[in-house]
Amino acid sequence: MDGASDGGVRLTATQAARHAGLLCANVERALLGKPEVVRRAVETLIAGGHLLLEDVPGVGKTTLAHALARSIDASFRRIQFTSDLLPSDLLGGSIPDNRSGTLGAFVFQPGPIFANVVLADEINRASPKVQSALLEAMGEGAATIEGVTHVLPRPFFVIATQNPLEHHGTHPLPESQLDRFLMRCSIGYPDAADEAALLREDPAATALPTLEPVVDIDTVLAMQAVANAVKFGETLADYLLRIVHGTREHDALEYGVSPRGAIALRRAAQARALVDGRDYCIPEDVRELAVDVLAHRVLLDPRTGHARGGEETAWIVREVLEQVPVPL
């Protein structure tokens, strides 16, 4: 593949893969024993999407977001979502311009969403109105405030965390808004050896504060451009579409994956290929990412009696994967 560029940097597929490897390795210093979760976060960034981390408190969701932000030489803001947060607290608004000398003059004060990397912590504790304001900005790459559209910086990467819905005081994200996230992942508990290492020395307290950036904004944009140019053949596109159609025809689902979801899986597969150092996609790229990309985009049919939840939809996507032949 020829070098691809965005901004002022040109990268080959090999160079982009090397930068992705540096990014993964740097983040893994702060999040012990979770290389696959770190890789998913980096793949989401390279694909130009947004990441939803859903898990119980205390397993490292915020640590992962902080570590990734520290590994990029870019602006970073953390927003703690609470029940009393207002859309203006998120987006910003007009304030009196005391420096202009003109009576009644106002100037726009950007909110914390105007950053390259935004950590939306415990997003399901905010009101639906605030959630909608964030997710609209994610979808449009811009925020309209008081009738004026303000373009968000590039790259713009949201890492949202939420606790499972059985925790009190939460507002579940509607399926239409979940669709704005490229991937939904869980971190899970560490295994016994990693947890013992955490007790001896917590990398979130020791390694995280010392992390230095390993890529800058222009490099991230160039990596995204390289990923977008990764070859995705017709046979592979047919395989992906058969998976998507399988979700639409499944008896346990009220509706399956949308065309937006199909495009998201292709973009994620291209990013995975780049991280592996390839300029072409293979069936494993689609198969390995299908659950993380698709499971939150389908809706269970309540008439089937299936319990609502991410594990149930993930199981159904895995079932569809088993039914669709993998191209040779």
The count of C-alpha atoms lying within 13 angstroms of the C-alpha of 132, restricted to the half-sphere facing its C-beta, is 5
Phi, psi for residue 297 in degrees, rounded to 5: -105, 0
- Band (pLDDT 50/70/90 cuts) for residue 6 is low
In a domain, 114, yes or no: no
Task: Name the amino acid, one letter, at 273.
Answer: A
Residue predicted with more confidence, 56 or 305: 56
Axis-axis angle for helices 283-294, 259-275 (nearest 10): 130
Burial of 288 (0-12, 13-18, 19+ CB in 10 A): middle
Is 60 exceeded by the pLDDT of residue 25?
Answer: yes
Question: What is the reported pLDDT for 145?
Answer: 84
pLDDT tens digits for range 139-148: 889 988 888 8
Average pLDDT over residues 59-77: 91
Q: Between the CA of residue 71 and those of 5, 25, 42, 139, 160, what are the distances in Å?
A: 21, 10, 11, 24, 18
Which tokens sit at 285?
Answer: 């790229």
Q: Considering the domain boundaries, does residue 293 fall inside one?
A: yes
pLDDT at 100 over 70: no
Query: Rounded mean pLDDT of 258-286?
Result: 96
Q: Is residue 9 part of a domain?
A: no
Q: Which whole number is the average pLDDT over 273-285?
A: 96
For residue 166, name the pLDDT band (cuts at 50, 70, 90).
Answer: low
Domain-embedded: residue 292: yes
Residue 172 pLDDT: 78
**Would you state the pLDDT for residue 168?**
67
Mean pLDDT for 80-103 is 82
**Alpha-carbon torsion, ordered 196, 200, 203, 204, to 10 deg:** 90
In a domain, 212, yes or no: no
Q: What is the pLDDT of residue 306?
A: 59
- Which range of residues forms the domain containing residue 255? 231-328
In this prediction, residue 259 carries a pLDDT of 94
Total count of domains within the chain: 1
Task: Decide if 224 is inside a domain.
Answer: no
What pLDDT shows up at residue 310?
Answer: 67
Higher pLDDT: 112 or 164? It is: 112
- Decide if 91 contacts 109 (C-beta within 8 A): no
How much of the chain exceeds pLDDT 90, in percent?
59
Q: pLDDT by residue (tens digit) across 208-224?
A: 999 999 999 999 999 99
Choose the weakest-confidence range: 33-42, 56-65, 78-87, 297-306: 297-306
Cβ atoms of residues 99 and 141 within 8 Å:
no
Asked whether the CA dihedral 86, 92, 97, 103 is positive or negative, the reply is: negative
Q: Which of 60, 187, 183, 57 is nearest to 124 (CA)?
A: 57
What average pLDDT score do residues 101-123 get? 85
- Over range 105-120, report the average pLDDT: 88
Residue 318, domain CATH:
1.10.8.80
Tokens 């910086």 label which residue?
153
Check residues 317 and 177 and name the one with the higher pLDDT: 317
- What Rg, from alpha-carbon coordinates, does the chain have? 20
- Average pLDDT over the chain, rounded to an integer: 89
| 67 neighbors 55 (Cβ within 8 angstroms) | no
What is the reported pLDDT for 224? 97
Residue 295 lies in a domain: yes
Q: Is the pLDDT of residue 2 over 60?
A: no
Rounded Cα gap, residues 246 and 193, in angstroms: 39
The pLDDT assigned to 98 comes to: 72
CA distance 71 to 5: 21
Strands in 211-271 per DSSP E: 215-216, 253-255
The mean pLDDT value for 170-179 works out to 79
- Asked if 124 contacts 163 with a C-beta cutoff of 8 angstroms, the reply is yes
**pLDDT band at residue 309, thresholds of 50, 70 and 90?**
low
With tokens 């560029």, the residue in question is: 5
Picking from 33, 71, 31, the residue whose alpha carbon sits closest to that of residue 217 is 71
Asked if residue 94 has pLDDT above 80, the reply is: no
Lowest mean pLDDT among 68-77, 116-125, 306-315: 306-315
Q: CB-based contacts of 205: which residues, under 8 Å, 6+ apart?
A: none
Inside any domain, residue 106: no
